[in-house]
Structure 1
Amino acid sequence: MGLFSKDIESMDDLFVHQLKDIYYAEKRILKALPGMVDKATNLELKQAFATHQRETEGQIQRLEQVFQLHGVEAEGAKCPAIDGIIDEADDVAGDVDDKQVLDAALVAAAQAVEHYEISRYGTLVAWAQLLGRDDCAELLAQNLAEEKATDEKLTLLARSRINVLAA
């Protein structure tokens, strides 16, 4: 089902489609995070990725709760956007020999993922509220807050250490 397919006829349909999109994305991210932990050389960066891996597991559980509350089966819809972001990160990481530059590349890739997630969750919270699903909005807002916190942590780490060492 494409974003503007005939299957989307209502705001509720659009909400469910975006929910499936982020569910797929979170599962794909969860699979990618162990590799990012392994590739990172900076201990704080490794820890940040490991922490986010645990958070992502919780975010997936919250998404499953949202599906259940909304009366829809929890399933993903293939998300070419997150696939592209993760594939690009893998390509860039494979091309970098300098470990400090590699850490900077990993932070940049992780932040591209975070920004995608922040965008999706922000939209989903607004739509859930519009649809009168404050129960769903609350769970989605928790995921949004975690994504924003991760992005801020990565920014601080990049500015204070990683980018400086890479330069």
Structure 2
Amino acid sequence: MEPKTPKTPDAPFLKQIFLHHLTRIYNGKCFLRDRTSHLMGLASFKALELAIGEFGGDVKKQIERMEEIYKLIGEKPSAEVCNPIRSIIKDEFCLDDGQDVPLLNDLDIMLYLQILEHINITSYRMLIMIAKLLKYDEVKQLLTENFDESADNDKLFTLIAKEYVTG
């Protein structure tokens, strides 16, 4: 069986795809925003606690930008149907299962936050691509700012993990 190449979506379908992914990431960020202070409290290393605080501030800014995007395109966030980010963090990254070694707990926090940032980076990349096709220039700029923050947070957690592991 020969693979089929999908037809290029028209503008209304592109907007539907855009809204679908924007809503998923928006609801995921809102869910994460509400849990950032708890994660800060779990960190045993001061640099990690500060990094989570910075991450939480970036999450709030990204939510504000996404709310601006909704206004720019004349839409509102819809109710959460399926949220992959919520699924990843619903059990608080499995951090409440009696881990006695603070280093392992901190590394788990960083691992899961980086997984979330990789989801966000990929989602923002796709949203930017669709925004270009829809000629949403202001939206593209807001998404680029969110993308850059997520990429910077990923690098920050990588540096902290390196400090943990290499001393």
Q: Secondary structure at the match of 1:138?
A: helix
Q: What residue identity is the alignment partner of 1:96?
A: Q
RMSD across aligned positions (CA): 1.6
1:12-161 equivalence runs, <5 A: 12-87=15-90, 89-161=92-164
Q: Which structure has the greater CA radius of gyration?
A: 2
- Retained in 2: the 8 A contact 1:24–1:79? no
Q: Secondary structure at the match of 1:132?
A: coil
Q: What residue identity is the alignment partner of 1:131?
A: L
Q: Distance in 2 between matches of 1:142 and 1:129?
A: 15
> Measured at CA, do residues 123 and 73 of structure 1 come closer, stay the same or move farther in structure 2, by a change above 3 Å?
same
Q: Distance in 2 between matches of 1:27 and 1:96?
A: 27
Q: Distance in 2 between matches of 1:121 and 1:88?
A: 25
- Retained in 1: the 8 A contact 2:27–2:83? no
> Measured at CA, do residues 105 and 164 of structure 1 come closer, stay the same or move farther in structure 2, by a change above 3 Å?
farther
Q: Distance in 2 between matches of 1:146 and 1:51?
A: 10
Equivalent position of 1:3 in the other structure: none
Aligned residue pairs: how many?
156
- Retained in 2: the 8 A contact 1:22–1:76? no
Q: Secondary structure at the match of 1:104?
A: helix
Q: Secondary structure at the match of 1:73?
A: coil
Q: Secondary structure at the match of 2:141?
A: helix
Larger proportion of helix: 1
> Measured at CA, do residues 48 and 92 of structure 1 come closer, stay the same or move farther in structure 2, by a change above 3 Å?
same
How far apart are residue 159 of structure 1 and its match?
Answer: 1.0
How far apart are residue 47 of structure 1 and its match?
Answer: 0.1
Equivalent position of 1:5 in the other structure: none
The farther-off stretch of 14-23 and 36-45 is 14-23
- Retained in 2: the 8 A contact 1:22–1:120? yes
Q: Secondary structure at the match of 2:59?
A: helix
> Measured at CA, do residues 111 and 56 of structure 1 come closer, stay the same or move farther in structure 2, by a change above 3 Å?
same
TM-score by length of 2: 0.87
- Retained in 2: the 8 A contact 1:117–1:147? yes
Q: Secondary structure at the match of 2:150?
A: helix
Q: Secondary structure at the match of 1:160?
A: helix
- Retained in 1: the 8 A contact 2:24–2:83? no
Q: Secondary structure at the match of 1:102?
A: helix
- Retained in 1: the 8 A contact 2:93–2:109? no
Q: Distance in 2 between matches of 1:49 and 1:109?
A: 12
